[in-house]
Amino acid sequence: MVSKSDQVYLFTSSNSIGFRYNVSMRLFSDLKNAFQKHRPKFGALEILKYIGPGFLVTVGFIDPGNWASNVSAGSSYGYTLLWMVTFSTLMLIVLQHNAAHLGISTGLCLSEAATRYMKPWVSRSLLFSAVSASISTALAEILGAAIGLNLLFHLPVQLGTLLIFVFVLWMLYANTYRKLEKWIIAFVSIIGLSFFFELSLVHLDWAKALTSWMLPQIPTGSIPIVMSVLGAVVMPHNLFLHSEIIQSRQWNLEGGDVVQKKLKYEFIDTLASMLVGWAINSAMILMAAATFHQSSLAVNSLDQAQAMLRPLLGSAAAVVFGLALFFSGLSSSITAGMAGGSIFAGIFSEPYNIHDPHSRTGVLITFIGAVAIIFLIRDVFRGLIISQMFLSIQLPWTIFLQIAMTSSKKVMGENANTFRENIVLWAVAITVTFLNILLLLSFLH
């Protein structure tokens, strides 16, 4: 029989054991939750959550305008100008990462930041010029896609323009950011696979290509092509677009540690997508060098390039070329519309939202303006030159605006550009501005 004192002992002991067990389990649970919350995750699946925004920007790096310059560079100078792709990609990584940095740190796109932190007359002057730049960009992109349809199905360019206009409007009105990211990644994949198919049909001098990627050379008479590639690779609408897409995820609301983590992931996204752009642009020059330059054929237009591919590499190569051009113009038209909507909404201190009247108005202004110009001008290619001239004038203002915003502690807080970052950014800005001034002068002459 258990005595009363023994019962008391057993009761208090069991309670003590139970209490210690409960405390231990609660402590273990708290530690487990804390570890799961704060442990670093750099696995592939975690990184994939942040892949997407950079690819929306990449299509502006492989748009029809770049095609024309790259094909001309490869056909006229062989592998020699491959270094332009490397150099331009490095400049693009610096500027696009900085634009994304603004969106992550502040939760504002470049247009919203300008509206909030600058005098109204200054911000509106800059932003309305940026909307005009988006129209100029959309003109070139829609026209490129229409030329692709013409090459594939012999559709008149103006009919193709209307079809592209309707399709890109539907894409923007019917899809969310995340769905558009997946569509664009699919389009970029088709473009990349198309050029790798073209390369599989030709013999390449890889040793010469490797040297040309790293060693800058400017052959006699190549200055206009060098300026067109290096000066036009950074586009104003892409800087606005990247800051808009990245801020839409509102990572800035999750705390300083989370922001720093997202900045690292964003850089991986930007770097990976820009390298894809580098590979596709390189493939364009390699293809032109191994076919046209090898046969001593200078190419000055995209329809001429496709026509010359048919006897050199066969009908399949010509069809794939037209298909890739179509998807290039289509995808870059979508992002040009998004950029126009984002810039216009930012004037009213609003983020891009296709269901919002200001965003819809911006998209419509961008596309209707571009389509109207295509129908009004008699010489389509002259219209392309004029659009590129306008971009050359507007781009420096967008770059300087971005650096002013990201350098300001009032705007960025502790995430403002460091002294070293500002040196790099200003070096890139001055280089791009100088090249665009030279490009503009070449157009005028």
- Whether the model clears a pTM of 0.85, i.e. scores above it, the answer is no
pLDDT average, residue stretch 89-115 = 92
**Domain identity same for 138 and 10:** no
Range of the domain at 259: 49-444
Q: What kind and span of H or E run contains 367?
A: helix 357-376
**Does residue 44 lie within any of the structural domains?**
no
**Domain identity same for 25 and 70:** no
What Rg do the C-alpha atoms of the chain give, in angstroms?
Answer: 26
Whole-angstrom Cα distance, residue 33 to residue 51?
A: 27
Q: How many domains does the chain have?
A: 2
**Does residue 361 lie within any of the structural domains?**
yes
**Domain identity same for 140 and 5:** no
Whole-angstrom Cα distance, residue 202 to residue 287?
A: 8
Of the given ranges (174-178, 268-272, 280-284, 334-338), which has the lowest mean pLDDT?
174-178
Write the DSSP assignment of 250-314 as a string of letters.
-GGGG-HHHHHHHHHHHHHHHHHHHHHHHHHHHHHHHHHIIIIITTT----SHHHHHHHHHHHH-
**Does residue 291 lie within any of the structural domains?**
yes
**Domain identity same for 31 and 85:** no
pLDDT band at residue 50 under the 50/70/90 scheme = low
pLDDT tens profile 240-292: 999 888 876 555 445 556 666 677 778 888 888 899 999 999 999 999 999 99
pLDDT at 32 (0 to 100): 46
Q: What is the CATH number of the domain that holds 104?
A: 1.20.1740.10
**Domain identity same for 209 and 266:** yes
**Domain identity same for 15 and 98:** no
**Domain identity same for 16 and 121:** no
**Domain identity same for 17 and 114:** no
Whole-angstrom Cα distance, residue 349 to residue 347?
A: 6
Q: At what angle do helices 357-376 and 315-347 cross, to 10 degrees?
A: 130
Is residue 122 a contact partner of residue 134, using CB atoms and an 8 Å limit? no
